[in-house]
Structure formats: C-alpha cells, structure tokens
Structure 1
C-alpha cells in the first residue's frame, strides 16, 4: 500500500502541470490572435486585388466579405503591368528595383568601410567621430529634406535615379551597426593579418567582410525596406515617369473625384513582392544577427 501511495503523483505536482499546460494554451492563443491581426490586412489586400469591381471592394470593407472572392480575376494586374502609357506600373516597379539594388549595393560598401575604419583604423579622434555618428542618427531625416532638395536641384539631379540613391547611401545607423559588428571580432585577426604584410583594405576585404554575413544581411534588409518605402523624398524630386518609383505612382489611383481601389490593391501587392523576396533570401543571417546581438547584450 505504501509503495502504491508513493508512486501516485502529488496533488501539488498535478496542479503545477495543469497550470503550465493552461499557460501554454493561453500563450498560443495570444500568439495566434496577434498573428491573425497582423496577417489579416495582407490577406484582405490580396483578396481585394482579385476583384474587378472597385465599388464592390469598398462595399465589402468592414465585413467578412472582404476576405472572400467568388470569381477571382487577374485583370487588375494585367491592366497595370505595362512599361508605357498611363498605367505603366511595370515601369514604376522596375524603377524601384533599380533604386533598391543600387542603394543597397553602394550602401553596403560605403557603410561597411566607414564602420571598419571606426573599429580598427588608426585615426585620431575616433571616439569623437563615433559620437558624431550616433548624434547624427537621432536627427530626423525630414529636417534636412528641404536643404537636400535645393542642393540636388542646383546640381541638376532632379528627376533622375541618382537623386533617389545618393542621399541615402551613407547612414549613421548602418555605419554604427557595422562598427559594432567589426569591433566585437577578435583583435588577433587584425594583428595577425597586419604581421603577414596585408594592407588595411586587404584585411577589410579578405578577412572581415567574409565574416560579416549577418551584418551584411541585416543592413541589406533594413536598407532595402527603407529605400523601397521612400515616399516623401521621391515625391519632391521626381516630376515625370522616367524615374518615379512605384510607392509614389500608387498615389495616382487616389484622385479627388474617384478612387480606383482595384488597381491600387493590385499595385500594392506587386510592391510587396520584392521586399518579401529580399527578406526570405537573407532570413537566416538576419535572424542569427539579432539572436547573436541579444545573447551578447
């Protein structure tokens, strides 16, 4: 009898097990609700882009009909996927891709070089330069937009791809991210390469850059999203379709007299696809970078 009594789980242990199980269920439900809240606008956007009646889209908003389409069609995508004419959203999408790729590639080179020099360069006043970089980060971009517009206008760069790339290549945030990553690498790497006769650029290119894949992935995604979502700046510096990005072009669907919800939804879906591909391509390094920062912090 005593052996049987001892083998039975104590009521307190049972209560603790039930409590943990209930807590896990509540946590799972909370995560599910948060995920549904975040995903539902995207799903609604996708469903609306498959409807061919803009008035029907507006009428369905606010009800469960917004999440269902009985007769899906790709006509909205076919109407806007052109490279010339009034609905040249293929051209606008191409413009945005050119701006994104050029900004990210040049930004990775410039910001990583600056971060490497701040971490391992033999410059005087590096601490002051680093403090200046951090101070520049807290200045809102909107506060310097008008002087930038004047400078670019006098340089004759308005309504070009260059005017949408050059101002955002160097960023205090990305310089600091690279500095933080390079500074945490072992000092012995730099000293050993220096003793072997490698130049500073050779050390940067052949040793530190291959080790900085997590930082490169993080900066690529953040810079790509920032470039892709630019709206105010290209609105001020582009007047024609030649270099206009898709974020600005979507606003043309919202007129004073009418709003073309069907085409706007399709264009918005097209606008999401490249940044999703960018994230999926660098997801592994992006997540590992943040996990590593959290562990070290």
Structure 2
C-alpha cells in the first residue's frame, strides 16, 4: 500500500508541476526561422522575410495579451517585409466582452504605425464560433473586419492583392508577388477559386488562411507557400513527442497542427505551414507548445 501511495503522490506532483509550467510557458516566445521557395519569385523579393502570427484569442480568460504585445514589439524590431495574421483575433465578443475588438485594434496598431505592411484573415472565433455547428455571427465579424481595416490592416476574404516590394518599388506585370487571403472555413467563407481567379496562373504568390483544412481546396501548383493557424499546435503536447497532443486522442481525422505538413496532404506543388499561434482555447495553458512567431525567408524555387 505504501508503494501505491508513493506512486500516486509522485503522479500528483508531476501533474502539479506540469500545470504550473503550463501557466508559465505561454510567456516564452518561440521564433521559428524557415526558408520558403516560391516559383518565379521577383528579384525584389529574393531573401526578404515574411512574418506569420495567429490566434490571438483576445477575450479568453487569462488571455495572453502581454505576450501579443511582446510579439508585436519583436516584429517592429525585426522589421520583416510583411506581417501576416492568420485569424482568430478575438475569442467570443458576443458573450459580453465588448472590448475585444478595441483591444485587437490597440494591439495591432503599432505594427501599422511602424510602417510594416500588415495583412489578416478572419478565423472561426472572429465569427463567435467555438464549434463547427455554431451559427456564424456576421455582425461581430463585420465589426471586427471594419475596425481592423480602419486601423490600417489589409483584411482579405477570398481576395488576392499585388504586394509592393521593399523599398517601395512598384510591381508591374510579371514582377508582382501576390498575397492570397482565404475566408473562414467554419463560417463557410473559404473559396480559393475566387481568390485564385484574380491572379495570373503562373504568378508567384503567398497564401494565407485560418483553418488548415482550407488548404485541400487548392489545385496543384497554386499554393507553393500556404500558412495557417487555428490548431494552437495542439496546445498541450507530450514532451519529446510534439506530434502527439490532446487533439490526437479526441479527433478521428488526421490532425495537422504544427510546422510543415507532410507532402501527402494537399495537391502536388503545394506546401502548408501551420503556425502554433499565441493565445489559447478552452484553458489558458500551453505545455511543450510555446507561442510561435514564424519568419519565412523567401527564395526563388530552383
């Protein structure tokens, strides 16, 4: 019986330490530096950096807003050519948290003020959807979209825009690099075909979406670099086995939660990277899954 007691006490001690660490880890920022190869990349974009962040979840209890501020400060110091924010700015603004939209604007405004081109798409929580079956709140999403646009963030929903190269060189014709932004999947707003119809077939492009499952809708060779969020990297993952998270055990379908996704997912010539995000869902903890800033260095595909 003593042995069983010691085992139970040990397990309780380990669980307590993990819980404490889970509350601490969200304040450690992990910067992942990656190389992304894009066919026909214009010379003006060779070697330039693109930052990706996601899932602020403002309004979540014990939300990680201090870390968001530190991430924004870091990006202002890093000065990438672009900052892409892959959705879920807010958590659930229709449940009495009237200041969520204002807080999102406050947090993003320094990026715009620093002169860093900043783009975004909406996620499911931006429509007040915490489940696939929840009805999308179009009013909340519209208010958030408009507020971010007014603050200087270029918001995209199934749209493609020609990006101005660094040093303000004007893009012309084949020298243009495009950004494709896709709408929220859970809100039934993701339509890559509409966005892709707005750019030349062989034009170089980046693709941003909130939900990784939208990636499957892209035809072959149309998304050489696609980025997404939504998963929070699993949020709680087994030490030394980051591919195993709580999502692995509660979902029957294959989970695409973190980093470069295997080549078998999506169509040939397309490549997806999933950012772990900054905030939380359900519980304000992260274990073996720190908040992520991704910095992509662009290269011409060989």
Which TM bucket (shorter chain)? under 0.3
- TM-score w.r.t. the length of structure 1 is 0.22
Larger strand fraction of residues: 2
Larger helix fraction of residues: 1
Which structure: larger Rg? 1
